[in-house]
Every structure is written in C-alpha cells, then in structure tokens.
Chains A and B, each alone.
Chain A
Amino acid sequence: MKRIVTKEDYIQSLKDLHHVVYYNGKRVEDVTEHPALRPHINSASLTYELALRPEHEDLMTATSHLTGRKINRFTHIHQSVDDLIKKVRMLRLIAHETGSCFQRCVGLDALNATYMTTYDIDQKYKTDYFERFKKYLVHVQDSNVMLVGGMTDVKGDRSLPPAKQSDPDLFTHVVERHSDGIVIRGAKAHMTGGVNSHEILIMPTQTMREEDKDYALACAIPLNAAGVVLIFGRQTNEERKFEEGIDVGNPLYGLVGGEALIVFENVFVPWERVFLCGEYDMAGLLVERFATLHRQNYGGCKGGVSDVLAGATALAAEYQGTAGASHVKEKLAEMIHLAETIYSGSVACSAMGYKTPSGAYYPDPLLANTTKHNVTRHIYEIARLAHDIAGGIVATMPFEGDLKSSEVGRYVKKYLAGAKGIPVEARMKILRLIENMSGGTALVESMHGAGSPQTQKVMYGRLGNLEQKKRWAKRIAGIE
C-alpha cells in the first residue's frame, strides 16, 4: 500500500478500500461521502494532518526503532518514559482540535501490547511470533495505515467462558487451521474508528483456559478481507449528523469515536499475520497490557476534550452575563481541577512507566487504572457542571430552523439574546457544542472505553498491595 501522508491520502485510501460497511441496514459504498461517517473521518484525519505541522512534530512523530525512519507516533512502539508522556500529551493536543475522539489510539495500544507480549510468548514457547510481528509493524509504520484495536468480543452469556457458550461464535475464535493460515469466526464490538480504519489487530478479550484455546487468538486482518462486515453503531442524536449548521453541535468532528460491530464470517488469516494462536495462558497478559496502555490515555484525550468543554462553558457564561458570578467562577475552577486531575493521572502512570523484556516501555498499571477510574467519575461531574452553568436552555433551545424562520426568527433572536453585543447565533452554537460534548454517547464512552469501572476495581484488588498496607497499619498500631 502507498504510504498515507496527508489527509487527502487518507481519504483516498478509504475510498479505495471497498470494505463492507452497513449503516442503518444499508450498504455504504463510500464511507467518505456518508454524512454520518464523515465527521469521524475528519477527526481521524487530524492524526495525519497534525503530524505534518512543524509546531506539532515533537509530539506527533517519532523515530522508528526498527527502521530509523520518521513515523507517525500512532505507529510507534514506546522506547522510553519520554515516549509514554509524549503519547499522553499528543492525545491532549489533538483533543483540543477536535473536541471529540479521534480513534487512532486504540490501534496504537494494540500494537504496543502485541509487541511486548509476542516477545514473551516466544521466550516461553520458542515460537516466532515476535519476528513475525516486527515485520507486520514495519508495514504499519511505512504505510501509516490506521488500525482498529480489536479486543472486545460480544461475549454472549457473561456467566459462561467462551468454550461453554451456546453459540461458539460469541467469542472470536479459530475454526480451521491450514498450512498457509487459519480461518476465524466471531465478532468484535465497540470497535472505535472501525469504518474508517484500514486494518484490525485482533486480540483475545479475557483470560483463557485450556478449553478456550481456540479463542486465544491475536492476528491482523485488512478490513476489506473477504468475510469482514462492519455495522456502524447508532449514537445519541445520530440524525443531527445529517443536518448542517448550528444544531449539529460539533459539525466537523462529530460525537465520540464512531464505533462499529465488526463481524468475521470465516475470514482467512495467513500465518504471517497471526501473533497468538492457542497459547491460552498468555492471553490474559496481552489483555492486561492492552487495557493498561489504553487506560493510560484517558487523562490525555478526555483531559483535552474537557478543556474544550470548560472553554465552551465559560463562553456560555459570558454570553449570558453570568461569568462574573462567584459560583460560576468556582464551578469553572472545579471543571479545570477535574480535567487536570485526570490529566495528571495519565502523566503519572507514564512517568512511572518501565521497560519490558521486549524493550518496549509500559505505563504503571495501577496508576493507569486509577486514571481511567477517575475518568469514569470526573467526566460525569464535568458534564454536570457544564449543564449547571449553561442552564436549562441546553435542553430546550429552539431549532436553527426557527432562528432562520421568517415567521418566528425574530422571536428567537429577541428572546434568546444574552449579554449585550453577543450574537444569538454565537450563543446557540456554543450551547449546541455543550450539548454535543456532554450527553449520551460521550458520557457512556468515558465510562466504558478501555474497560468498565469494575475492571479497574479488579486491578485494584490485584495491584493494590493490601496485605502490605495491613502490615504497615499493624506495625504503627503496635499489633503483634
């Protein structure tokens, strides 16, 4: 594949992909022309565009440790603590430009997790997954393709392991093995950026036991491979994306990432793209590493979108004449505090990162989980404060069509006026942006992206060192 450099290259590459995408029951022939999908493409495009600007080169690019070539940081294996921190700062930077998710970090985390884990698998089983993966990685870096991080299976009955499901396809698994490759079947859910990516790097979704070994699977598949079907997920206020203008809220960059259900119907995968196949005892390590790497991010990206939301909320206050009120200032300060709190978590887990046996650097897992867990709480509070300051008008505002109406437009202009000199249109735009960024899908993604809150509590149990804490307490209390 020709190297993708510019936004135009990226868009053309999606036009040339001819992957099978469905939206609301209909096949989409060109994702770049579909109004519901284009905002997500615009958002992801910035991961390409910003890498070309000198003022962002330091964060958006890196040097490949394999080839020595300059690459997009979204294809980089972290080589230092500095790299881990730059990743987080990069995410915050892009969020300032989009006010939305830009999707590509999931693939980056999948690359890093698989890199580290294939090394360990080879050490234990004398396989050659690591060398195979490095060849694949060079392809990703040189072509600059966008990857989906394919972890989450649909899971069926959550009380049963993969091998005991009534339908064996409810976890993605190997159905055939041949001399030249494998055939897989299943589906991955919540696939961020799915319809506007080029490939998917599949990983197992949970720890596996021996009976689940056909589900211990990691492999890379082009999204236009035969048997791959993508079904776009409906978001809150989905139909707004078909409109233009004020009521869309974030007209260029949409809402959250744009997730898809990706189905694998007897998809062939050649062996050179298989990185885990049956080594079930290593599946949990890959899952944990991906989860940690992905949880590391959220203070960066959600910190960045929270910055935009705080700015929008401050403007809403100015536009309606409440910016001088002490309680408004206090609430804005609280929004900033919460945004910096989650950001500081991402920086902390990066700063406390360390080198793995593969040579790649890995963030501190306990701090990464703490960061994500904070995000599951603080984003809701940040949104609540935005709603508090902006007022009920966020939920009741007339349509843009009413503003433009020859019959009632004059009423909207007159009765939605706020502070002197502020155009009503500006006030409506900022309120719609707040609505877009603080409701429905945006909140749910912050809750469950990179792992639901309970998964972080599981990690607290594992990594929280409670026995040592009890020993400290006993010693200080003088208990024998």
Chain B
Amino acid sequence: MGDMKKIGIKYCGGCNPFYERVEMIQRVQSLLKDRFIFSVDDLRDSDIMVFVSGCPRACADKHSGNFEASSLSILGEDDFESLIKRLTAIDQECDGSYLPG
C-alpha cells in the first residue's frame, strides 16, 4: 500500500447551509479513514482539496485558486455518494487496492 494521500477540507463560512456539512464530512472520514489523511486545520501540502459549500452558491470554491492540489467541490448532501466514489477511484488508481463500497 502506498503512502496515504492527504485530503484538505475547506469549508464555506456556513451562513445558511442547506445540510449538515460537518456531519457529512465526518461520515466520509469514517468510511475512508484507512485510506486517506483528512485535515481541516493544516491544508498545506494537501494532495486533494475538497471544497465543502453549504449551498449551491459554492462560496468555498472561491478558495480553489489558493491551492495547487486537484480539487473536488461539494454543494449538498446529494454529493456524498459521488464524493465517496471519486475518492475511492483516486485511491484505487494509486495502489490498485479494493475499497468496500
């Protein structure tokens, strides 16, 4: 197994979220904790950035220019499954491991 990639989590400010952003990311972390390192405080050297916005206004995406890492954008609860799939695919590309669905 290769070194675990670091995922940086950048939230929007949360002025009026349509869903529980933090709880959703916690679920993602729980599912993928053996495959990735997640960080919300230190985003330096992140391999992948996940921009988590509370609504379709996508305010977190405004920070994407500050990071060189490839990025994924989350706008709502509907993006949970696709986020898991994308991260799983990234991990499989790296080391060919099979992740539970």
Contact = CB atoms under 8 A, between A and B. Distances in A.
Contact of A90 (B13, B40, B52, B60): B13
Contact of B11 (A57, A89, A96): A57
Interface in A47-99: 54-60, 86, 89-90, 92-93, 96
A86 B9 CA distance: 20
A92 B11 CA distance: 17
A417 to B, nearest CB: 30
A54 B59 contact: no
Nearest to B43: A54
A27 B52 CA distance: 48
B13 A58 contact: yes
A259 B15 CA distance: 26
A307 interface: yes
Contacts of A86: 13
Nearest to B40: A54
A79 B52 CA distance: 25
Contacts of B41: 54
B14 interface: yes
A93 B40 contact: no
Counting chain B CB atoms within 10 Å of each CB, which of A58, A59, A60, A86 scores highest?
A: A58
Contacts of A93: 13-16
Contacts of A58: 11-13, 59-60, 63
Interface string A220-262: 0000000000000000000000000000000000000000000
Given A54-B40, A54-B41, A59 B13 contact: yes
Interface in B27-54: 40-41, 52
Interface residues of B, number: 15
B88 to A, nearest CB: 24
A58 B22 CA distance: 14
A54 B12 CA distance: 9
Interface string A288-310: 00000000000000000001000
Contacts of B40: 54-55
Contacts of B11: 54-58
A55 B15 contact: no
Nearest to A300: B15
Contacts of B15: 59, 89-90, 92-93
A89 B63 CA distance: 17
Contacts of A89: 13, 15-16
A402 B12 CA distance: 45
A185 to B, nearest CB: 42
Counting chain B CB atoms within 10 Å of each CB, which of A55, A60, A93 scores highest?
A: A55
A54 B22 CA distance: 9
Nearest to B52: A55
Contacts of B22: 55
B26 to A, nearest CB: 11
A301 to B, nearest CB: 12
Contacts of B14: 55-56, 59, 93
A56 B59 CA distance: 12
Contacts of B21: 55
Contact of B16 (A54, A55, A57, A92): A92
B13 A60 contact: yes
B80 to A, nearest CB: 16
B23 to A, nearest CB: 10
A307 B16 CA distance: 9
Contacts of A96: 16
A334 to B, nearest CB: 19
Nearest to B15: A89
Interface string B45-78: 0000000100000011001000000000000000
Contacts of A60: 13
30 contacts: A54-B9, A54-B11, A54-B40, A54-B41, A55-B11, A55-B14, A55-B21, A55-B22, A55-B52, A56-B13, A57-B11, A57-B13, A58-B12, A58-B13, A58-B60, A58-B63, A59-B15, A60-B13, A86-B13, A89-B15, A89-B16, A90-B13, A90-B15, A92-B15, A93-B13, A93-B14, A93-B15, A93-B16, A96-B16, A307-B16
Interface of A: 54-60, 86, 89-90, 92-93, 96, 307
Interface of B: 9, 11-16, 21-22, 40-41, 52, 59-60, 63
Given A55-B14, A59-B14, 7 more contacts: A54-B40, A55-B52, A56-B11, A58-B11, A86-B13, A89-B15, A90-B15
